[in-house]
Amino acid sequence: MIKTDKPLEEMSKRQVVNHLYDTVKPEEGVIPAYLLGDPKVYEIEHEKVFLKTWVFVGHESEVPNKGDFMTRELAGYSLIITRDGEGEIRAFYNMCTHRGMKLCRADKGNKSMFTCPYHGFNFKNTGELVGVPLQKDIYGGTLDRTTMGLHKVKLESYKGLLFGTWNEDAEPLEDFLGDIRWYLDILVGRAEMEVIGVPQRFVVSSNWKVGSDNFVGDSYHTMVTHGSIAKLGMVPSATYSKRGFQIHTENGHGLNLGTPNPDFAFPEELKAEFKSNLSVEQYGVLSNLKNMIGNVFPNLSFLISHTKIKDQFISNTSVRMWRPIGHNKMEVIAWMLVEKNASQDWKDRSRDSFILTFSPSGIFEQDDTEVFTDITEAAQGPMPFLKNLTYNYTMGLHREPVEFVGPGVAYDDKFTEASQRNFYKYWLELMTK
Amino acid sequence: MNMEEMLVKCQFEQWLYDEAQLLDDIEFDHWFDLMHRSLRYQMPVRINKEGVERPDYSTDMFTFNDDIELLKLRVDRLKTDYAWAEIPPSRTRRFVSNVRVKDYVEGEKAVVKSYLLIYRSRSTDIKHDLISGERNDEFIFEEGNWKLSKRIFIVDQTTINTRNLAIFI
């Protein structure tokens, strides 16, 4: 056992990183509790994970028209995401280049110009500075507006999912996503998808990693945490969550795929659209899919849920971000997606099933947040660090992967912790780089 | 306000106070009995918009969008041994104020607006959550009682600062 007399808060960044290297052992299934409770680890995470990787910022369908905009956050910094007059989606740092004031304080809207509330500098939705009050008079014609455009933020889309990064050297989004794309195709590439309404937002006193960990690989908790769902007849049995596959890919991504499903979980009338967007193998997975729960590293979780409500089966598709606010606090932002060409009745029923199951009032969601909060509280302060309390992630270490039609390392039921070990392996790699 | 209007207002204030007591006392079955079978129970997601553009809430995304059947499901769930979100139950205190009767047909229907502040305390937590907003309620008179047929709760926060809505609004 590693012992240290020096609390984390007295260590230099280098020492903390070395300590992580010595104590975090994903491949052996050993994850120390202090990772969820320490402000210093959180600080390093911000720099080495959130400022380096691609982070989800929204969906293209949220800015469907020319002139639409929305504000989002990227690693704690405000972004304006616009669709300009040419239909191109761009992202800018929400900061006036003159004195740094936030240019836009609405969540969304439609306009082609952003005017700074401080001195009235005026920016087009392409980022150009186009107006400066009394410019000629006060700058004597010396102000070079062309160097004062809004700071552009690197933005790329995969099948409508928009990711941004502050890292100029980041690998292309497609490379970063790698094999998880095969599964994202099923999630959001199966048909033209759109966000319904606006995302849900709520604050949970939890470290963000608890959320990612839960979605990347933890189907095991479903039996107990979500035991009420079986009692209410919304799923057939408590062990319902075991059958299927757990899959992980490079860069810490992973998912749990529930199969088989005798009831087609998606709008029947869109089968042709699904087939035209997916490979034969992907369509095979879709048509037999019970549910799909996963996480794109670091903090974008995704979900296709299928339950029985009012004696009718209905699926709902959503993505959610565990946006870190502090070492023990996160904002959960949840977007509900639906096939754009589905019937209004399907859309409404799917939305209402999402609200009932995975919104802040959702009867799955509620119980998760209770667990997330208590786990985070237990990890706080110097004791879990000094006593080197660790979590056990050894489930499935004895198992061999199986062949699967999709890419990645697959296991033939969902009760293993391989995806979580893979998540922490990549996390550690970034943290100690 | 004349005497008749005051009595009507008083009647709905009392209804809302009684409802608050049932919810705070965790008497969910009795609370559920106050609902009309045509119920629509909604809480739209708030949005920050430019200027005074209205409505400043979503018309197609909600935190609650229940009919009587879904609300019953929530009440039933809380009675299973697995409703961890409310084990132990939150201690809530609902403060109802600014009650205004907007429309009233004696023995038939009524539209009532009110403000609501919910104090929520969980377990041993020394922090508390506050949920504030406006209720827009509609009532139908049935078999001698006023039943709630529609509730739209306009919450005051765009990012809700409580871990979940395992409680009723």
**pLDDT tens track for A126-177:** 999 999 999 999 999 899 999 999 999 999 999 999 999 999 999 999 999 9
Whether A77 is covered by a domain: the verdict is: yes
Predicted pLDDT of residue A3: 63
Give the integer Cα–Cα distance in Å for A358 and A365. Answer: 5
Most confidently modeled of A48-57, A222-231, A239-248? Answer: A48-57
Tell me if ipTM is over 0.90: yes
Q: Is pLDDT at A1 greater than 60 in this prediction?
A: no
Q: For residue A106, give the nearest of B49, B160, B165 by CB distance.
A: B49
Q: Tell me whether residues A370 and B161 touch, CB distance under 8 A.
A: no
pLDDT category, A2, cuts 50, 70, 90? low
Q: Do A404 and A270 belong together in one domain?
A: yes
- Domain containing B144 equals 3-155
Q: Tell me whether residues A227 and B82 touch, CB distance under 8 A.
A: yes
Q: Do A382 and A413 belong together in one domain?
A: yes
Q: Tell me whether residues B63 and A196 touch, CB distance under 8 A.
A: no
Whether B163 is covered by a domain: the verdict is: no
| Tens of pLDDT, residues A313-344 | 999 999 999 999 999 999 999 999 999 999 99
DSSP single-letter state for residue A194: E
Predicted pLDDT of residue A324: 98
Whether B160 is covered by a domain: the verdict is: no
The distance of B90 to chain A (nearest Cα, Å) reads 12
Q: Tell me whether residues B82 and A228 touch, CB distance under 8 A.
A: yes
Longest dimension (CA), chain A: 76
- Domain containing A88 equals 55-165
Q: What H or E segment, with its residue span, contains residue A419?
A: helix A418-431
Q: Is pLDDT at A4 greater than 60 in this prediction?
A: yes
The position carrying tokens 């039996």 is A223
Predicted pLDDT of residue B82: 81
Whether B164 is covered by a domain: the verdict is: no
- What per-residue string of b and e applies to A249-262 under the rule 16 or more CB within 10 Å gives b? bbbbbbbbbbbebe
Contacts of A200 in chain B (CB under 8 A): 45, 61, 63
Residue range A375-385: average pLDDT? 94
Contacts of A204 in chain B (CB under 8 A): 163-164
The phi, psi pair for A153, rounded to 5°, reads -115, 135
Q: Do A234 and A128 belong together in one domain?
A: no
Contact assessment for residue A125 and residue A113, using Cβ atoms and an 8 Å cutoff: yes
pLDDT category, A62, cuts 50, 70, 90? very high
Q: Tell me whether residues A363 and B48 touch, CB distance under 8 A.
A: no
Q: Tell me whether residues A107 and B48 touch, CB distance under 8 A.
A: yes
Q: pTM score, two decimals?
A: 0.96
Give the integer Cα–Cα distance in Å for B64 and B41. Answer: 7
Whether B126 is covered by a domain: the verdict is: yes
Predicted pLDDT of residue B85: 85
DSSP single-letter state for residue B37: E
Contacts of B77 in chain A (CB under 8 A): 228, 231-232, 363
Q: Which residues from A are below 8 Å from B when comparing CB atoms?
A: 105-109, 111, 196-205, 224-228, 231-232, 309-310, 331, 336, 351-352, 355-356, 359-363, 365-367, 369-371, 373
Q: Do A217 and A119 belong together in one domain?
A: no
Q: Which residues contact A178 (CB under 8 A, 6 or more apart)?
A: A249, A250, A251, A253
Whether B169 is covered by a domain: the verdict is: no
Q: Count of residues for chain B? A: 169
State how far the alpha carbon of B31 is from the alpha carbons of A145, A366, B21, B144, B146, in Å. 63, 21, 9, 17, 13
Q: Do A184 and A132 belong together in one domain?
A: no
Q: Do A116 and A154 belong together in one domain?
A: yes
Q: Tell me whether residues A109 and B50 touch, CB distance under 8 A.
A: yes
**Residue A124 belongs to a domain with what CATH number?**
2.102.10.10
| Tens of pLDDT, residues A75-125 | 999 999 999 999 999 999 999 999 999 999 999 999 999 999 999 999 999
Percent of the residues in chain A that have a pLDDT greater than 90, as a whole number: 88
Residue range A37-41: average pLDDT? 95
- What per-residue string of b and e applies to A304-323 under the rule 16 or more CB within 10 Å gives b? bbbbbbeeeebbbbbbbbbb
Predicted pLDDT of residue A300: 98
Whether A44 is covered by a domain: the verdict is: no
State how far the alpha carbon of B167 is from the alpha carbons of A227, A358, A431, B131, in Å. 19, 15, 39, 11
- Other C-beta atoms closer than 10 Å to the C-beta of A409 total 17
| Tens of pLDDT, residues A336-365 | 999 999 999 999 999 999 999 999 999 988
Q: Is pLDDT at A296 greater than 80 in this prediction?
A: yes
Contacts of B47 in chain A (CB under 8 A): 107-108, 198
- Chain A, chain B: beta-carbon pairs less than 8 Å apart: 123
Whether A8 is covered by a domain: the verdict is: no
Q: Do A294 and A147 belong together in one domain?
A: no
Q: Tell me whether residues A200 and B69 touch, CB distance under 8 A.
A: no
**Domain count within chain B:** 1
**Helix extents (H) in A38-85:** 39-45
The distance of A361 to chain B (nearest Cα, Å) reads 4
Whether B106 is covered by a domain: the verdict is: yes
**Nearest chain B residue to A309, by CA:** B70
Contacts of B166 in chain A (CB under 8 A): 361, 366
**Residue B42 belongs to a domain with what CATH number?**
3.10.450.50
Q: Which residues contact A105 (CB under 8 A, 6 or more apart)?
A: A71, B48
Flag residues of chain B having pLDDT under 50: none
Mutate to test the interface with B, among A228, A347, A373 (most CBs of B within 10 A): A228
| Tens of pLDDT, residues A403-427 | 999 999 999 999 999 999 999 999 9
Q: Tell me whether residues B73 and A232 touch, CB distance under 8 A.
A: yes
Contact assessment for residue A356 and residue A349, using Cβ atoms and an 8 Å cutoff: no
Q: Tell me whether residues B70 and A356 touch, CB distance under 8 A.
A: yes
Burial of B7 (0-12, 13-18, 19+ CB in 10 A): exposed
Return the CA Rg of chain B: 16
**Domain count within chain A:** 2
Distance from chain centroid for Cα A224: 24
Q: Do A338 and A394 belong together in one domain?
A: yes
Whether A339 is covered by a domain: the verdict is: yes
Contact assessment for residue A414 and residue A293, using Cβ atoms and an 8 Å cutoff: no
**Residue A296 belongs to a domain with what CATH number?**
3.90.380.10
End-to-end, the C-alpha distance of chain A in Å comes to 24
Q: Do A189 and A273 belong together in one domain?
A: yes
Q: Tell me whether residues A361 and B163 touch, CB distance under 8 A.
A: no
The distance of A71 to chain B (nearest Cα, Å) reads 10
Give the integer Cα–Cα distance in Å for A62 and A157. Answer: 13
